[in-house]
Amino acid sequence: MPLLSRQQLVLLVLLTLTWGLNWPVMKLGVTDFPPLGFRALSMWLGLPVLACALLVLKVPFRIARPHWPALLWLTVTNMLVWHVCIILALRHLSSGRAAILGYTMPIFSALIGAWLYSARLTPRGWTGVGAAALGVLLLLWHEAVQLAGRPLGVGLALVAACVWALGTQQLRRSRIEAPTLTLSFWMTVLTTLCMSALTFGFERADWHHPSDATWGAIAFNAVLIFGFAQAAWFSLARGLPPLASTLSIMLIPVLGVFSGAVWLGEVLHWQDWAAVGLMTVAIGSVLWPARS
């Protein structure tokens, strides 16, 4: 397993904090506002932030024409399906449990890597996957009855996780000759257009002026999620092997659970605390330097 550079470590810490805290923020945002519309507004406001980053860093916007079909497919698997399914799932689930189901992604990623790409897992890799899976099961312990009555939310979250896992494997192996920030910008543009069409087609009757709390959630997502976190994740996903990049973010659902408990009053159980240790094992299994 690779040793993270200082830049990758900083990105990982900031990404974990941003994405982890965003789960209760998103739940707050979709409570009284159409979920697809919430996502579309966040993306439209986040695009100028991302564009300014490209201009300041002097990163080119251009992607060669032959790479566009591959870019479209990466957009579907890395962004579009995830953002549509997980924001709809949040309407039916608590923020913490949606985060847990969404971050079954590393488990799917390991299985997809072994099945489609003949990726061999080391004993440490299997240890990380097993610890992550056990942590997810523990966190869902007290939710079994409630989740059984909410199959739509559970199904959407698991579909989102599975497709995102496939996208992560594809992104790591992509041969598109363009900077990661450029890919992030155009994938966000394409996803924004699709999300706008979906909210126009299915939620137009529910559109209304957002409340102050909803505007705050939209601003948080625009600046920190689509202006920073999405690009930071793509950088890690392209620079690290899929298993290392996916298991390294397993602290995010734990942070989502605890921040949801603090901000939204969601109840914690002993399984939540035990999962913290298991997620730490999962992260350490891929990031702790191996002996030479």
pLDDT confidence tier of residue 172, bands split at 50, 70 and 90: confident
Tokens of 159: 């579909």
Can you tell me the mean pLDDT for 194-222? 96
Alpha-carbon distance 43 to 87, whole Å?
A: 13
pLDDT at 261: 84
pLDDT at 287: 60
User: Which pTM value belongs to this model?
Assistant: 0.86
pLDDT at 1: 47
pLDDT at 35: 97
Residues in the chain: 292
pLDDT at 176: 93
Alpha-carbon distance 140 to 277, whole Å?
A: 15
Alpha-carbon distance 74 to 41, whole Å?
A: 22
Q: Which of 13-22, 109-118, 191-200 has the highest mean pLDDT?
A: 191-200
pLDDT at 128: 78
Nearest to 247 by CA among 121, 150, 61: 121
Q: What is the mean pLDDT of the chain?
A: 87
Question: Identity (one letter) of the amino acid at 96?
Answer: G
pLDDT confidence tier of residue 215, bands split at 50, 70 and 90: very high
pLDDT confidence tier of residue 146, bands split at 50, 70 and 90: low
Can you tell me the mean pLDDT for 179-191? 96
pLDDT at 145: 58
Can you tell me the mean pLDDT for 282-292? 64
Give the whole-number percent of the chain exceeding pLDDT 70.
91
pLDDT tops 80 at residue 275 = no
pLDDT tops 60 at residue 24 = yes
pLDDT tops 80 at residue 119 = no
**Number of CB atoms found within 10 A of residue 174's CB:** 20
pLDDT at 114: 81
More confident residue, 291 or 218: 218
More confident residue, 181 or 2: 181
- In tens, the pLDDT along 60-100 reads 999 999 999 999 999 999 999 999 999 999 988 888 878 88
pLDDT at 256: 86
Can you tell me the mean pLDDT for 35-52? 97
More confident residue, 108 or 220: 220
Alpha-carbon distance 159 to 167, whole Å?
A: 12
Which positions ≥6 away from 255 have C-beta within 8 Å? 16, 17, 19, 20, 21
Alpha-carbon distance 191 to 13, whole Å?
A: 26
DSSP one-letter string for the chain: -PPPPHHHHHHHHHHHHHHHHHHHHHHHHHHSS-HHHHHHHHHHHHHHHHHHHHHHHT------GGGHHHHHHHHIIIIIHHHHHHHHHTTTS-HHHHHHHHTTHHHHHHHHHHHHS-PPPPHHHHHHHHHHHHHHHHHTGGGHHHHHT-HHHHHHHHHHHHHHHHHHHHHHT----S-HHHHHHHHHHHHHHHHHHHHHHHSGGG--PPPHHHHHHHHHIIIIIIIIIHHHHHHHHHHS-HHHHHHTTTHHHHHHHHHHHHHH-PPP-HHHHHHHHHHHHHHHHHHSPPP-
